Amino acid sequence: MKVKLIAALGNPGKKYESTRHNVGFMILDHLAEQFSASFIVEQKWSVATAAFDLGETRVILAKPQTFMNNSGEAISAVKNFFKIANADILVVHDEIDLPLGKIRMSFDASDAGHNGVKSIIEQIGQDFHRLRIGVDGRQSRLDMDTHDYVLQNFTTEEEDALKTKILPEAQGEIKKFIGY
């Protein structure tokens, strides 16, 4: 059976649950719900995982509980345990360099200044897929420091866009990656 890993970047805990930085976690929660998969926390790996089978493919969802900047540790542990090739890994994360609602799939090694992606590259190397979810809804970058901005909750209007446009579109891209 082929194994694919869908890993989302975010920060654990209620405080960060609805922030822009956690859009990856939100997308995986939505996907897990659709496939009736439940997350359990794997303490030894510092990661919450869920799994489901689609035909001949086992899909593992992973939400590192190490905080964003150390995400690579948890993803590396899951990758090594299940012997998953980097080409079978998709990392879903927020992208401040894309406007809110813009989604980009890529296969590259650039961290583009994202500390979570940088941590993954340091731990497992390059050549994994990335689903970058645009979260920048500011009128100007002068409105708020980027670090503070990504830790802000989405506005009510942005939450509506998340539910009606962003989550379904991201889910479509993930399903293509899985081969569903």
Instruction: Tell me phi and psi for residue 108, to 5 degrees.
Output: -155, 175
Torsion 20-22-23-24 (CA) sign: positive
Mean pLDDT of 90-96: 95
Number of domains, the chain: 1
Residue 147 reports pLDDT greater than 90: no
Supply the pLDDT for residue 65: 97
For 13-28, what is each residue's pLDDT tens digit?
999 999 999 999 999 9
Predicted TM-score (pTM) of this structure = 0.94
- Give the DSSP letter string of 46-97: TEEEEEEEETTEEEEEEEESS-GGGHHHHHHHHHHHHT--GGGEEEEEEEEE
> Given a cut of 80, is residue 139 above it in pLDDT?
no
Read off the CATH number of the domain in which 47 is found.
3.40.50.1470
| Percent share of the chain, pLDDT over 90 | 81
pLDDT score at 21:
92
State the pLDDT at residue 112: 66
Amino acid identity for residue 139 in this structure: Q
Extract the tokens encoding 40. 């359990």
- Tell me the pLDDT tens digit for each residue of 52-67: 999 899 999 999 999 8
Selected catalytic residue, list 21, 93, 114, 129: 21
For this structure, is 21 an active site residue? yes
* Residue 27 lies in domain: 2-178
Look up residue 143 and give its DSSP letter.
S
